[in-house]
Amino acid sequence: MTATGTELGKTFTSAALLHGARQAGRSVAALKPVASGIDDGNLADSDPAVLLAAQDIACDWAAVERICPWHFRAALSPDMAAAREGRAVPFDELLRFCRQTLEGPAEFALVEGVGGIMAPIDERHTVLDWAAALEIPALLVAGTYLGTISHTLTALTTLAGRGVPVAALILSASPDSPVPPAETAAAIARFAPDLPILHVPRLAGAEAWRRVPLYADLMRSGRTSTASTGRR
């Protein structure tokens, strides 16, 4: 799970997919291996906490560590946040951590990235390098704000250039959308005619992701094999 930028709804989208997969009777596993801006004061509202809730797992530091071993206090890109703590994200270890889950027994396994597709993880690697190295399909989240068409087409071109297949584009409604999501989807579809484009509305309320039938929509899109580990 990646995005054209940060704060666009990756975690909300991931939670909706996990919840839907569980409702459909599939076993699930989710990772958020790298996260910034987490401390004792906001642990319960953090991205890993949302993924745990979507799997009906109680949130505490031990549970967070199991799915998010590289978490940092500063709300910055991972390389900057880690540097402020005298740490770094070891890229090879990150890949091994993800592959353990992707090769495990879960029928629906999901790895949520951090920031946008070109966010730096360390001094030499970006989220794009991470996605390409794992050799699994991507779900790309984009907003519906003014400028998203250019950002989305740029991200799709970048992913294609590294051989990362995109299972679907998920438009996550922005509060300042200048046009309806369907109009944005139609504009993008002219340049990516074979790409399933799904929509996630902006909903208020705790655990609103439970009300989004995104998993069913993804299965209907015909990309049933690319939402998880690439094995199905």
Residue 155, pLDDT > 70, answer yes
pLDDT in tens, 9-24: 999 999 999 999 999 9
Type of residue numbered 82 = A
How crowded is residue 73: how many other Cβ atoms within 10 Å of its Cβ? Answer: 15
CB 117 within 8 A of CB 126: yes
Tally of CA atoms within 13 A in the half-sphere of 65 that contains its CB: 3
The pLDDT of 82-106, averaged and rounded, is: 98
The pLDDT of 62-74, averaged and rounded, is: 98
Q: What is the mean pLDDT of the chain?
A: 94
Residue 224, pLDDT > 70, answer no
Residue 225, pLDDT > 60, answer no
How crowded is residue 203: how many other Cβ atoms within 10 Å of its Cβ? Answer: 14
Instruction: Assign 227 a pLDDT band (cuts: 50, 70, 90).
Output: very low
User: Domains in the chain and their CATH numbers?
Assistant: 2-220 (3.40.50.300)
What percent of the chain lies above the pLDDT cut of 70? 95
Q: Where are the beta strands (DSSP E) in 54-100?
A: 70-72
Q: What was the pLDDT predicted at 230? A: 36
pLDDT in tens, 131-143: 999 999 999 999 9
Active site residues: 32
Instruction: Assign 223 a pLDDT band (cuts: 50, 70, 90).
Output: low
What percent of the chain lies above the pLDDT cut of 90? 93
